[in-house]
Structure 1
Amino acid sequence: MTHSIRIALLFGILFSTSSLMGQEKPVDPKVAAAVEWKPLFDGKSIKGWKSINFGGEGEITVEKGSIILGTGDPLTGIVIEKAEGLPKDNYEITLEANRLEGDDFFCGLTFPVGDSHASFICGGWGGGLVGISSLDGMDASENTTTGYKKFESNKWYRIRVRVAGGQLQAFIDKENFADVKIADHKISTRFEVDITRPLGVSAYRTKAGIRDIKWRTVKEAEKVEEKK
């Protein structure tokens, strides 16, 4: 074998090896499907949801791709019709919410936490309070997750909750407002919103817009998200 042939073979081997090393591993379709966002609102109707009979609730309509929760006296909300297949752990749910009128919470997102449930309150108690309700019998205004944020009317906010890796986390846009170790607390909902379980959204004396509701399974590597 001549020297030139040896060099050509060597470069061929190196090229083949580097090409293989540069290739991404094929993604298992089952894994990919498990982490894809699954929509819960079609943007046209409340199919899959129903209006909650709080007594004094406002009208539920769909306008320009958003569910409109009319101002209630005091509450208006929707709840998912079928709980079958709804996750209880290792998942996250997200939606966009907008305070259209009023000055109290425009998004009370109720969601499963194992065999219990909790609500993430955005804009309560006069318009700026944020927190999880309830922890150890204490609502969003009086537990360790109590926080405050200035909300603008007619502005969309991305609301997200994550239940995974033994933690309950809640975010508004990219800001983390709750990071709770589930095993350390008794988690429940306030009796006024028990009717929004297992998955529902409500607003208090406030007209609100809700859109882009979806959920996904949380991958093992992402079970706890770092605070930002």
Structure 2
Amino acid sequence: MKKQSILTLAGFLLASSIFAQSWTPLFDGKTLNGWKRLAGTAEYTVEDGAIVGTNVPNSGNTFLVTEKEYGDFILEMDVKIMDTTSNSGVQMRSHYDAAGHQGKGLVYGCQFEIDPSSRRWSGGIYDEGRRDWLYPGSLNPTAQDAFKVAEYNHIRIECIGHDMKTWINGRAIAYLVDTVDHLGFIGLQVHAVRDAGLAGRKVYFKNIRIQTTGLQSKPFPPGIYVVDNIPNHLTTYEKNSGWKLLFDGKKADQWVGAYKDKFPDTGWIVDNGMISVHEKAGKEGGTGGDIVTKAVYKAFDLSFDFLLTPGANSGVKYFVRLAPEEKTTGSAIGLEYQILDDTLHPDAKLGRNGDRTLASLYDLITANKQKRFIHPMGQWNTGRIIVYPNNHVEHYLNGVKVLEYERGSQAFRDLVAISKYKIWKSFGEAPEGHLLLQDHGNDVSFRSIKIRVLQ
């Protein structure tokens, strides 16, 4: 073998060896050296090469956290939880407020969720002690069976720059883009128990190791929804998956007024990364009127952020035909994702069984939503509408599915027959249509409007 080839091979082997050795253990398998307990009084012990957390009565969430803080890293470990009544998690880039939680101490920051309940949100990302759910497991439903109860599961967490990605047993789960934390500790959670009869439940962690240099992100399979908290931004991954921005935060060149050939001169404004409609005494049609996409869509995944002012009303409509026979003095006709302040606006009490409330299919199907997943007035909420090629439709609010239906089914037609839409033939069944942002005469803003065409 030539000397140059030998040197090249030696260099390759050395580089491979260095890369292979770049993992650093965070747990020596015998002691809790390098870790400290915070917030609660749950017990952490070492048994058979694993850290064992045991919950206790009358304690809040308890965390065993690293004494060292980490910025960019790849973290892997094996986790076991014994039954579906338990809950746990792994903190990432997290922090501690000794005065928080009424002086009991508060750990806060992003958490890899370990959730063996029937909800099955393991691998989702929760903001412990701060913003609540950032990436519910329901955003990746095909991976909700990845976590196995009563056996060790291999988890992987990547925190590189603004990107957080998670895996369970080799399956990609969550992809979050977030700018809030850049550095913090890693922690293992023992969740509080409300029922004293559930005390003594255990969670096991072993083979905990970390990389902090030479980080190589593991490829994510295409098509997984990304929660991107950078306004009007698409990741390279999203672009490669077919996502496109319908509003880039600077110009509204993909929108025109309904039944018009240009964007309204009044009523709507693009400013500060938002596209906003102005107050006009709550009058439907407002000053500028509705705006619609220039393009039409058949099957799609649409995501959008919206900001309501107190008492405001608006909507996002889809399959809007703009047909002459459907023209009205008010808003253009189409299926509507309702946007509403349910507390202050009277429309919330109209219709049937709440089918005019936030995230509902307006006047047809009520959104089944929990209060904790509704962000208050003055904060951004994220809506999502998925129309599959087979005409199955889903509405989401802040990552949680709130309704689903089959467009054109007999059940759908029966609902239309008892709604305000019964006067329009084949309402909601057009093969394609525009998307619409409604001017209902209230101050409402939108941003991060993105779409992926589904085939």
TM category, shorter: 0.5 to 0.7
SS of corresponding position for 1:26: helix
Do structure 1's residue 164 and structure 2's residue 166 form an aligned pair?
Answer: no
Do structure 1's residue 118 and structure 2's residue 72 form an aligned pair?
Answer: no
C-alpha contact (below 8 Å) 1:51/1:79 kept by paired residues: yes
Opposite residue 137 of structure 1, the aligned amino acid is R
C-alpha contact (below 8 Å) 2:74/2:156 kept by paired residues: yes
Q: Equivalent residue for 1:200? A: 187
SS of corresponding position for 2:149: coil
Opposite residue 212 of structure 2, the aligned amino acid is T
Q: Give me the whole-angstrom Cα distance separating, in 1, the residues matched to 2:136 and 2:149.
A: 25
TM-score under structure 2 normalisation? 0.36
Q: Give me the whole-angstrom Cα distance separating, in 2, the residues matched to 1:46 and 1:58.
A: 15
C-alpha contact (below 8 Å) 2:45/2:52 kept by paired residues: yes
Q: Equivalent residue for 2:27? A: 41
Could you give the per-residue CA deviations for residues 89-121 of structure 1, whole angstroms, max 9, x where no partner exists? 2x2111111012452323x111128xx941110
* Alignment match of 1:173 (pick from 158, 169, 185): 169
Q: Give me the whole-angstrom Cα distance separating, in 2, the residues matched to 1:64 and 1:143.
A: 31
Judged with a 3 Å threshold, the aligned counterparts in structure 2 of structure 1 residues 70 and 138 are, in CA distance, closer, same or farther, namely closer
Do structure 1's residue 58 and structure 2's residue 54 form an aligned pair?
Answer: no
Judged with a 3 Å threshold, the aligned counterparts in structure 2 of structure 1 residues 124 and 227 are, in CA distance, closer, same or farther, namely same
SS of corresponding position for 2:185: coil
Q: Give me the whole-angstrom Cα distance separating, in 1, the residues matched to 2:140 and 2:210.
A: 25
SS of corresponding position for 2:93: strand
Opposite residue 186 of structure 2, the aligned amino acid is L
C-alpha contact (below 8 Å) 2:70/2:185 kept by paired residues: no
Judged with a 3 Å threshold, the aligned counterparts in structure 2 of structure 1 residues 104 and 187 are, in CA distance, closer, same or farther, namely farther
C-alpha contact (below 8 Å) 2:80/2:203 kept by paired residues: yes
Could you give the per-residue CA deviations for residues 160-205 of structure 1, whole angstroms, max 9, x where no partner exists? 111125421111120111122335xx569xxxxxxxx621010324
Q: Which runs of 5+ in 2 are unaligned?
A: 95-107, 194-200, 222-455
* Alignment match of 1:109 (pick from 90, 94, 107): 90
SS of corresponding position for 2:11: coil
Judged with a 3 Å threshold, the aligned counterparts in structure 2 of structure 1 residues 26 and 128 are, in CA distance, closer, same or farther, namely same
C-alpha contact (below 8 Å) 2:165/2:176 kept by paired residues: yes
Q: Equivalent residue for 2:133? A: 139
C-alpha contact (below 8 Å) 1:118/1:132 kept by paired residues: yes
Q: Which runs of 5+ in 1 are unaligned?
A: 1-14, 189-196
Higher relative contact order (CA 8 A, sep 6+): 1
Could you give the per-residue CA deviations for residues 26-70 of structure 1, whole angstroms, max 9, x where no partner exists? 1567x926961101111112111123341xx43222111111111
Q: Give me the whole-angstrom Cα distance separating, in 2, the residues matched to 1:22 and 1:52.
A: 51
Instruction: Give RMSD over aligned pairs.
Output: 3.7
Q: Equivalent residue for 1:94? A: 76
Q: Equivalent residue for 2:120? A: 128
